[in-house]
């Protein structure tokens, strides 16, 4: 799963023709470059360590290491195949490619959660899952479990043959797709149709006339510049397929986690203390903030070439940050509302106290998270590239981990104080105090952050535009 969700970095296949080297050799070097990705640095040693550990236990390190090498090779080829295939699809049908990419990431993410939640059922009915031995991860597990035994020669050979067959087949199809892309055998592009003199639909003329007459949003109590920027941010988000899939993940995971087998038998928040009512919903809300973090902690990443217009715009940088923060907060609030309402309707446990706890915690999370997101966006700007499955990485992504833990401190302190004081009123008073403190901190620091943006805007412009094609700059990863 980490390999499949890797960045999938590769150079443009069309540029392969510029090198005096055969396409096959270039493809091999490009595939080997997956070893340098962040996910491979972690996943490949883990795969090899599993093989070595099983080999040491069964006194067959050589046989186990051979299985591990082929399993790691399949993971690398899989990562390259996904990158090449999705990249080829995006060249022809950009929106469809973006949707497929987002759905693929959502399915893998949900699969990991489902596996963890359904593990008791897997252990109970494990014999029925032996058919998975004919899949690459199943063959690897089956080979380590049964193939290293003294009488497991047949199991070992079948597992090894399965891994070799999957790896070679995937490598063949990956090379074919890369070769077709490099030679331009894709067809059906919009540019080609225009170049061939294809007729333009009259709908295009109508849309052009409608766009000329469109004056944009005019929100009450704010300036026209603020309204225009706020509208731009929301329109970018609404046409983004990844964000629509994030909505699906937020709602689905709320139901999946609460439907976990044996959940009612364990110790819940309210069983620890009755003053923790709504704590589970607040934790789920924090997960929604995590899902939106690629957008809120990289505010300028999907502006791309449009960042030049923001630099030249006669707009105060404080107002610019506030508009972007308002847009991301509205998006997050919509996702939180959807997940909370769906969970409440399905399980019928949504009370007024839970809603108040969630509402106060949301204001705290939003105020503090926007400040942290602004700082990360200015300190670690990253160009969001079309076709990448992981755009938030490096130090900026690492710093999110302690920051999310820090966000849990205010509601945890409120619940703890209410537990010792034996009063629900104490919990909400403390939460209200944290709300005032968080909002006041945002109002106090947003002006210095605006001045910091004015000093760093040229560096951010260089980071988010890069030297690549400008058409790859307006999609969230």
Give the sign of the dihedral formed by CA 25, CA 28, CA 32, CA 37: positive
From first to last of its 477 residues, the chain has per-residue pLDDT tens of: 555 555 445 555 555 566 677 777 777 877 787 777 767 777 888 889 999 999 999 888 889 999 999 999 998 888 888 777 767 766 665 555 555 655 565 565 555 555 665 666 666 766 666 777 888 888 898 899 888 888 888 889 999 999 999 999 988 988 888 887 777 654 444 444 444 454 545 555 555 555 555 667 788 888 888 888 888 888 877 776 666 666 666 666 666 655 554 444 444 566 778 888 888 888 888 888 887 887 888 888 777 667 787 788 777 889 899 999 999 999 899 888 888 887 777 666 678 888 899 999 999 999 999 999 899 888 888 776 544 444 454 566 667 788 888 899 999 999 999 989 988 899 999 999 999 999 999 999 999 999 998 888 888 888 877 654 444 433 333
Containing H/E element for 301? none
- Alpha carbon 145 to its chain centroid, in Å, reads 33
CA distance 72 to 140: 10
Buried b (16+ CB within 10 A) or exposed e, 255-290: ebbbebeeeeeeeebeeeeebbbbbbbbebbbbbbe
The contacts of residue 343 (CB under 8 Å, 6+ apart) are 254, 255, 258, 281, 284, 350
Closest by Cα among 39, 32, 31, 75 to 178: 31
- Where do we find the tokens 């409608």? 210
CA distance 68 to 148: 13
Give Rg (Cα) of the chain.
26
> CA 284 from chain center: how many Å?
16
- The pair phi, psi for residue 310, each rounded to 5°, is -70, -35
- Whether 146 and 60 have beta carbons less than 8 Å apart is answered as no
pLDDT at 413: 93
Give Dmax over CA atoms of the chain in angstroms.
79
Cβ–Cβ < 8 Å for 307, 383: no
Q: What distance in Å separates the CA atoms of residue 361 and residue 368, rounded to the nearest whole number?
A: 11
Cα 305 to chain center, whole Å? 23
Q: How far apart are CA 360 and CA 442, in angstroms?
A: 16
Give whole-number Cα distances, 84 to 9, 96, 390, 393, 472, in Å.
9, 15, 15, 21, 16
> Domain coordinates of the chain in residue numbers?
13-101+125-186, 217-472
Annotate 310-355 with DSSP letters as a single string.
Answer: HHHSS--HHHHHHHHHHHHHHHHHHHHHHHHHHHHHHH----HHHH
Which two three-digit tokens encode residue 59? 């006194």
pTM: 0.61
CA separation, residue 273 to residues 269, 343, 420 (Å): 7, 21, 10
CA angle, 298 then 343 then 357, to 5°: 70
How high is the pLDDT of residue 107? 61
pLDDT tens, residue by residue, 198-211: 454 555 555 555 55
């Amino acid at each position: 799963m980490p390999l499949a969700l890797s960045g999938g970095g590769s150079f443009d296949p069309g540029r392969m023709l510029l090198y005096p080297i055969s396409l096959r050799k270039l493809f091999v070097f490009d595939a080997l470059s997956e070893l340098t990705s962040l996910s491979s640095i972690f996943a490949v040693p883990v795969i090899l360590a599993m093989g070595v550990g099983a080999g040491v236990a069964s006194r067959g390190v050589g046989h186990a290491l051979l299985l591990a090498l082929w399993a790691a090779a399949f993971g690398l080829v899989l990562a390259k195949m996904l990158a090449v295939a999705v990249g080829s699809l995006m060249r022809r049908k950009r929106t469809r490619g973006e949707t497929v990419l987002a759905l693929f990431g959502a399915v893998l993410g949900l699969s990991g959660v489902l596996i963890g939640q359904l593990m008791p059922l897997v252990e109970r009915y494990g014999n029925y899952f032996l058919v998975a031995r004919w899949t690459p991860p199943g063959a690897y597990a089956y080979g380590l479990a049964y193939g290293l035994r003294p009488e497991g020669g047949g199991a070992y050979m079948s597992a090894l043959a399965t891994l070799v067959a999957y790896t070679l087949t995937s490598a063949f199809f990956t090379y074919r797709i890369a070769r077709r892309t490099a030679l331009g055998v894709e067809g059906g592009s919009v540019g080609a149709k225009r170049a061939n003199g294809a007729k333009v639909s009259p709908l295009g003329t109508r849309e052009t006339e409608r766009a000329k007459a469109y004056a944009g949003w005019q929100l009450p109590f704010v300036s026209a510049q603020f309204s225009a920027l706020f509208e731009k941010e929301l329109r970018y988000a609404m046409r983004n397929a990844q964000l629509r899939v994030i909505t699906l993940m937020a709602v689905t995971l709320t139901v999946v986690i609460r439907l976990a087998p044996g959940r009612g038998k364990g110790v819940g928040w309210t069983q620890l203390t009755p003053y923790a009512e709504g704590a589970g919903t607040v934790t789920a809300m924090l997960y929604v903030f995590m899902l939106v973090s690629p957008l809120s902690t990289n505010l300028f990443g999907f502006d791309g070439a449009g960042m030049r217009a923001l630099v030249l715009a006669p707009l105060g940088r404080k107002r610019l940050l506030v508009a972007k923060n308002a847009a991301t907060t509205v998006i997050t609030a919509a996702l939180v509302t959807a997940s909370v309402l769906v969970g409440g309707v399905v399980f019928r446990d949504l009370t007024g106290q839970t809603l108040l706890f969630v509402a106060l915690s949301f204001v705290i999370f939003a105020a503090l998270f926007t400040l942290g997101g602004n700082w990360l966006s200015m300190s670690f700007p990253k160009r969001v590239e079309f076709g990448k499955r992981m755009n938030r990485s490096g130090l900026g992504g690492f710093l999110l981990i302690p920051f999310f833990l820090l966000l849990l401190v205010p509601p945890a302190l409120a619940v703890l104080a209410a537990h010792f004081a034996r009063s629900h009123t104490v919990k909400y008073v403390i939460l209200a105090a944290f709300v005032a403190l968080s909002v006041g901190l945002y109002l106090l620091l947003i002006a210095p952050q605006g001045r910091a943006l004015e000093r760093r805007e040229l560096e951010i412009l260089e980071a988010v535009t890069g030297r690549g094609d400008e058409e790859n700059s307006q999609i969230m990863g």
